[in-house]
Structure 1
Amino acid sequence: MPLDYPIHERRLDNGLRLVVSPDPSVPNVTVNLWVGVGSRHEEPGRTGFAHLFEHLMFQGSRNVASGEHFSALMAQGARLNATTWFDRTNYFETLPRGAMDLALWLEADRHGHLLDAVTQENLDNQRDVVKEEKRQRYDNPPYGTALIEVYAALFPEEHPYHHATIGSMEDLDAASLEDVHAFFQRYYGPDNTVLTLCGDVEVDEAVAAVERYFGDLAPIDRMPRPPGPQLPPLSEPVRVERLETVPNDRLHLAFRLPVDPTQEYLASSFAVDIVAGLSTSRVGTRLVRTEQSAHRVDAHAMGLVDGSSIALISVDVAPGENPAGVEERVGEELDRFADEGPTPEEMEAVLAQAERAWLSSLASQEERADTISHTTLLHGDPGAVNTHLDRLARVSADDVTEAARTWLRSTNRATVAFLQAEAAAA
């Protein structure tokens, strides 16, 4: 039975894209906003700004005190947060339907009038918060800088995916209050935003409420930079080694992939899962179950829109094993798969996993709203929640083989290896 989630799209006069998906099964509403700004929109010397604003957006606005966004909504029983990624920043809350107007008013105040509260004191405070987050999430944990190293190895310095969303602390330290205000004014406007309402709300009620709170926000008339051309796969391996005090040697093998939402990207993501992502994957079966030269293998694809997506395979090397030899055997499985292609059983398994993951995510009202915002902002397709399974079913074994041969040869890899410093010294 095909999916048939109701999707109603409206565009306000100021450019705000509103998508309403009524679902009266529970008396909640999810308010989900995606702003078309992420780390790929940052300029050299101005990295980390998109993530900084994820923090500043909770520090007050014209009519809201610092921290009040959280406290006011949590008092109504809401769950809320925000995240930043390469291609976007999103803000979201799920709350009882009676509190929807409060959430919309709070969101409109900070999306339209944040800069009233972005003072030098607030900026300095949140810079310190971001620095502490970097220490806790990246600098201090074992393997914490792995993704930073992966992106830098996989993409040239001038590419928008070369740097991670956390950005440079030196860039944040050098940023003036005027620089920060200018970034917000450039990207935060209704015509660069998608707002999805999902849950116990009628379409007319939703449109009227959003018009009431967001209708008077001024557009920014932004002319976005179009995505760059598709990057080819790496022509030869790239390798970065880090000798650190880590629990075990860990290998991260990364590959460029076609941009999302192309069918070639889906075929590539299937290939990644069959080789190293499924519980029955070829790399996992060989290294973990048979040889026991690794005690964990994981893989996934990250769909992106600006010239490349990413595949990432990570391997925890077993004690006493030579990590270079383990990496070589991963490469052997990649090349063997590219030469042979998938078996019918592997195609059945990878399709079942992809379908199960999609249906599981849509079963959550919060994730469904997030998916609708995602596909509307980045792909112009709010109805993808209903059609994605059809696209998955159209991926053939030949498509997967061709994708593996083009994008997932062992020579196409960028490897970031975290090796135990003590063992290397010995």
Structure 2
Amino acid sequence: MADQAPSSTNGFVVSEHTLGNGLRVVLSEDHLTPVAAVCLWYDVGSRHEVKGRTGLAHLFEHLMFQGSASVPGNGHFELIQAAGGSLNGTTSFERTNYFETMPAHQVELALWLEADRMGSLLSSLDLTGLDNQRAVVKNERRQRYDNVPYGTSFERLVAMAFPDGHPYHHTPIGSMADLDAATLADAQEFFTTYYAPNNAVLAVVGDIDPEQTLAWIEKYFGSIPGHDGKRPPRDGSTIVRDGSAPLREHLVEEVPSRAMMAVYPLPLDGTREADAADLALTILGTGESSRLYNRLVRRDRSAVTAGFGLLRLAGAPSLGWLDAKTSGDASLASVEAAVDEELARFAAEGPTPEELERAQAQIEREWLDRLDTVNGRADELCRYAVLFGDPKLLNSALDKVLDVTAEEVQAVAARFLTPDNRVVLTYEPSVPDDGDDAEDADAAAAVSDDADEDVHA
């Protein structure tokens, strides 16, 4: 077992260890409350899938809750909840994660359960279980994507932003046809390839004894064999277009109001430019004090919602997601013109000192709120370990954002937030407006999250 000396990360002591089978372990001791988080990231997401077999990473997230050699059926949930813990799993473009938050004296149980399904799920995987969870995922797709207003918007924008053949061209939910096509052999190969200890990072954070916790990890995970057959993901760091793929799509559907949505490719996560882009989008489109909200909702009254979100990606250009739902008879053309005017003005003038200070304070508050929970801290340690190779990068993440200058924010806006660096999706209602624009728009906004926040109980 290879160990590294503990280091301090934002006041928290972090130690790193590597088991003989390649499993990377990150421990952070914090006795503020008698709870601990167990977080396991597998370095596999939808970017690792191949054409014709999309959705496998997300499907496997479900299969991991359907029993293993020692814990049949729904036993994983039953044991964790009976011990007073909570748990879930999510899938994104770049990783699949599983996590439990436990009373401190029940950490060993969570470690044993995670090790059991990592080491033995394949022995309990059969066609009946695969078909069962295939049906669950297909129903999830219907409920969250296909049968809700604007439900496929993010999927469509991603497909336009990343052309066919790009590893990020499809979202984690996958297509109905590919889910139907997945065979038991496909699932078995997927698990053998990606659910190996040397393709994972395990973080345990909270009220723990690091020495005892590491001994449990060695006991339960140490005998699981590694696997060297993983294929590296295809390079997605650049976008190459052949000129034939559309950059704009207009849909007439049963939606509550007209909508303009757009995606702007931005710098890769982990770069200083990505932090500058985060600040730009915060100033332009986060909250009711943002420029776009003030212009479209308050001043022009042409929209009921207007905002920007940021999807940070490490292996491909990050995405700035613009979403504006129109008000009354406002035209899509007027909303798009107002958006372009505001972005151009920001690129020409940059942020005011007050705007930059407010945006940095907002990001700082959100970051500290996340690190204040053991599960949030464990997840971030896994993220930096899997995507950037070093969990201790967490230590400098906030300082880097606070160090970004107004000139850098202006430069990234001028370079990336332009009409020729985006794809656009517009909606026109096929039925009369019912007058509940704001309520319907808020309800529909939840479908734009790329990570499938599943409840498996």
In which range does the TM-score fall when normalised by the shorter chain? over 0.9
Does the 8 A contact of 1:34 with 1:195 survive in 2? yes
Aligned to 1:358: 367
Does the 8 A contact of 1:299 with 1:311 survive in 2? yes
SS in 2 for 1:353: helix
Matched, 1:140 2:147: yes
Q: CA–CA distance in 2 between the matches of 1:3 and 1:233?
A: 39
Q: CA–CA distance in 2 between the matches of 1:215 and 1:92?
A: 19
Q: CA–CA distance in 1 between the matches of 2:211 and 2:325?
A: 53
Aligned to 1:418: 427
Of 259, 265, 272, the match for 2:281:
272
Aligned to 1:89: 96
Amino acid at match of 1:95: M
Q: CA–CA distance in 1 between the matches of 2:250 and 2:231?
A: 37
Aligned to 2:52: 45
Per-residue deviation, 1:222: 4.2
Amino acid at match of 2:237: Q
Q: Any unmatched runs of 5+ in structure 2?
A: 1-8, 434-457
The percent identity for this pair of structures is 44
Superposed CA RMSD in Å reads: 1.8
Per-residue deviation, 1:401: 1.3
Matched, 1:326 2:335: yes
Amino acid at match of 1:18: V
Q: CA–CA distance in 1 between the matches of 2:74 and 2:61?
A: 13
Aligned length: 423
Matched, 1:13 2:20: yes
SS in 2 for 1:144: coil
Q: CA–CA distance in 2 between the matches of 1:278 and 1:261?
A: 24
* TM-superposition CA deviations, 1:187-207 (whole Å, max 9, x none): 110011010001110211111
Tell me: CA distance 1:336–1:35, structure 2 relative to 1, closer, same or farther (3 Å).
Answer: same
Q: CA–CA distance in 2 between the matches of 1:69 and 1:422?
A: 46
Of 248, 253, 259, the match for 1:239:
248
Q: CA–CA distance in 2 between the matches of 1:415 and 1:248?
A: 16
Per-residue deviation, 1:229: 5.7
Matched, 1:286 2:295: yes
SS in 2 for 1:311: strand
Does the 8 A contact of 2:167 with 2:236 survive in 1? no
Aligned to 2:173: 166
Matched, 1:307 2:316: yes
Does the 8 A contact of 1:267 with 1:395 survive in 2? yes
Matched, 1:381 2:396: no
Q: CA–CA distance in 1 between the matches of 2:64 and 2:233?
A: 26
Aligned to 1:149: 156
Q: CA–CA distance in 2 between the matches of 1:18 and 1:410?
A: 44
Of 113, 119, 124, the match for 1:117:
124
Aligned to 2:198: 191
Does the 8 A contact of 1:233 with 1:406 survive in 2? no
Per-residue deviation, 1:231: 2.3
Q: Any unmatched runs of 5+ in structure 1?
A: none
Amino acid at match of 2:196: G
SS in 2 for 1:300: strand
Of 178, 181, 185, the match for 1:178:
185
SS in 1 for 2:13: coil
Aligned to 1:30: 37
Does the 8 A contact of 2:259 with 2:428 survive in 1? yes
Greater shift in the superposed pair: 260-269 or 402-411: 402-411
How do 1:222-261 and structure 2 match up within 5 A?
Answer: 222-225=229-232, 228=235, 230-231=237-238, 238-261=247-270
Amino acid at match of 1:99: Q
* TM-superposition CA deviations, 1:95-154 (whole Å, max 9, x none): 112211111111101111111111011111111111111111111111111111111111
Of 62, 77, 85, the match for 1:70:
77
Q: CA–CA distance in 2 between the matches of 1:230 and 1:182?
A: 27
Tell me: CA distance 1:206–1:49, structure 2 relative to 1, closer, same or farther (3 Å).
Answer: same
Q: CA–CA distance in 2 between the matches of 1:242 and 1:226?
A: 33
SS in 1 for 2:148: coil
Q: TM-score when scaled to structure 2?
A: 0.89
Q: CA–CA distance in 2 between the matches of 1:3 and 1:173?
A: 46
Q: CA–CA distance in 2 between the matches of 1:85 and 1:42?
A: 12
SS in 1 for 2:305: strand
Does the 8 A contact of 1:255 with 1:408 survive in 2? yes
Amino acid at match of 1:163: H
Per-residue deviation, 1:233: 9.7
Q: CA–CA distance in 1 between the matches of 2:179 and 2:265?
A: 29
Amino acid at match of 1:295: V
SS in 2 for 1:15: coil
SS in 2 for 1:149: helix
Q: CA–CA distance in 1 between the matches of 2:73 and 2:389?
A: 34
Q: CA–CA distance in 2 between the matches of 1:51 and 1:232?
A: 24
Q: CA–CA distance in 2 between the matches of 1:339 and 1:409?
A: 12
Dislocated runs of 4+, deviation >3 Å = 232-237
Does the 8 A contact of 1:237 with 1:415 survive in 2? no
Tell me: CA distance 1:179–1:229, structure 2 relative to 1, closer, same or farther (3 Å).
Answer: closer
